[in-house]
Amino acid sequence: MFRRQFIQTISACAGLTLTGCGWRLADVRATTPIKGSRDQLYLYTWTQYADEKSILKNFTTQTGIRLFADVYESNDAMLAKVQAGGGGAYSVIYPSDYVVEQMLNGGLLAKIDSSRLIGLENLLPQFQNPIYDPNNSHSIPFTWGTTGLIYNSEILSQPPEDWEYLWQNRDRLTKRITLLDDKREVMGAVLKMLGYSYNSTQEREIEQAYNKLQELKPAIAAFDTDAWRNRILAGDLYIAMCYSGDAIKITKENPKFKYVIPKSGTSLWTDTMVIPITAPNPDGAYEWINYILQPDVSAKFVTTQSLATPNRLAFESLPARYQNNTSLFPPEEVLEKCDRIADIGDVDAVYERYWTKLKSG
């Protein structure tokens, strides 16, 4: 399971119980937990974040709380469901940083009572007062990473250094490339390549990015956030735009695949844990967040799931091979060139218009 993976066979998985864990992969839309029920906790999350069974089992053992989950494939899908009133079952949701802003502006999030949390002081300084949520007043960082390119080094002997590589080699790469199915990531990467901000609010610049993507479109096999993994492993793809956590897991399993952070810059993202204002079990939500804040739990997500930790004590406990992995923990000079995707308000409609035109044209 990977960071942005949706359970494609959810209908077959619905109601599946992993005995001993207290964990069920379930379509919880069909279930409405009793408000305030202490012994069950419903999460809405990315698939990979619920994939380490021993971590889940230990939580249930410690607290007696059974975990249930529904999963989503994109921030847009999650936000649309919650805005439409379909999130009433969930006590913890995992939005990315800029979506925290959108949910907060929409009145969807409960304020975090920091007095109920243990270990906030162990967060690395850059995660203690993030720009998207000052003082973590409505969210707690769970993991972070970058967006870049994974490629097959046995086929592409010259490694890509920047996004421009796709345009420079498009004839050779025709139908062997995938880009993420994410308008802000794809448009943002091209904006960055052109010397603009990932979060440009200038329509002239956004249109330039669209035109640049139109040049590349005949070579693109798909706009895809999930299925690229099987395709690149099978040799159908040579290169794919992806999230660092997904890429690192593949590179660990097969060293011929390499991950590159483009030198012109990319996005720096943080995925968080929030408590929706409609949470039926806020007490259980605090128990879960406190559990994740434990350094040994946070460190295990690094070693088992290739997820970068924002927890200082967890990082310090990691073996050197993890601490020195520059794909997992990029050096400061690389991070300085990265932008966080920000809430751009009404300008999002401009991105959506060009994105729809790009994909449908």
pLDDT for res 31: 46
**What's the domain count of the chain?**
2
Answer yes or no: is pLDDT of 14 > 90: no
Tell me: do 112 and 28 sit in the same domain.
yes
- 76 with 110: CB under 8 angstroms? no
Residue 5 located in a structural domain: no
Tell me: do 224 and 162 sit in the same domain.
yes
Residue 190 located in a structural domain: yes
Give the whole-angstrom CA distance, residue 223 versus residue 237: 13
Tell me: do 182 and 314 sit in the same domain.
no
Tell me: do 256 and 286 sit in the same domain.
no
At residue 107, what is the residue type? G
Tell me: do 126 and 216 sit in the same domain.
no
In this prediction, residues 54-59 reach a mean pLDDT of 83
Looking up residue 179, the CATH number of its domain turns out to be 3.40.190.10
What percent of the chain is predicted at pLDDT more than 70?
88
Q: What is each CA distance from 144 to 149, 219, 308, in whole angstroms?
A: 17, 30, 6
Tell me: do 174 and 314 sit in the same domain.
no
Tell me: do 234 and 303 sit in the same domain.
no
Residue 153 located in a structural domain: yes
In this prediction, residues 328-336 reach a mean pLDDT of 93
Tell me: do 214 and 138 sit in the same domain.
no
Residue 184 located in a structural domain: yes
Residue 2 located in a structural domain: no
Residue 1 located in a structural domain: no
Tell me: do 239 and 318 sit in the same domain.
no
- 66 with 43: CB under 8 angstroms? no
Answer yes or no: is pLDDT of 283 > 80: yes
Q: Which two tokens stand for residue 5?
A: 């993976």
Residue 220 located in a structural domain: yes
Answer yes or no: is pLDDT of 86 > 60: yes
Residue 226 binned pLDDT confidence (cut-offs 50, 70, 90): confident
Tell me: do 92 and 196 sit in the same domain.
no
Q: What is the pLDDT of residues 148-173, one digit of tens each?
A: 999 999 999 899 999 999 999 999 99
Tell me: do 111 and 177 sit in the same domain.
no
Q: What is the pLDDT of residues 192-207, one digit of tens each?
A: 999 999 999 999 999 9
Answer yes or no: is pLDDT of 6 > 80: no
Cα-Cα-Cα-Cα dihedral sign, residues 174, 177, 182, 183: negative
Answer yes or no: is pLDDT of 33 > 60: no
Residue 4 located in a structural domain: no
Tell me: do 87 and 152 sit in the same domain.
no
174: containing domain: 145-268+330-360
The conformational region for residue 107 under phi > 0 = left, psi -120 to 50 = alpha, else beta, is: left
In this prediction, residues 137-145 reach a mean pLDDT of 97
Q: What is each CA distance from 245 to 3, 124, 242, 338, in whole angstroms?
A: 6, 19, 9, 16
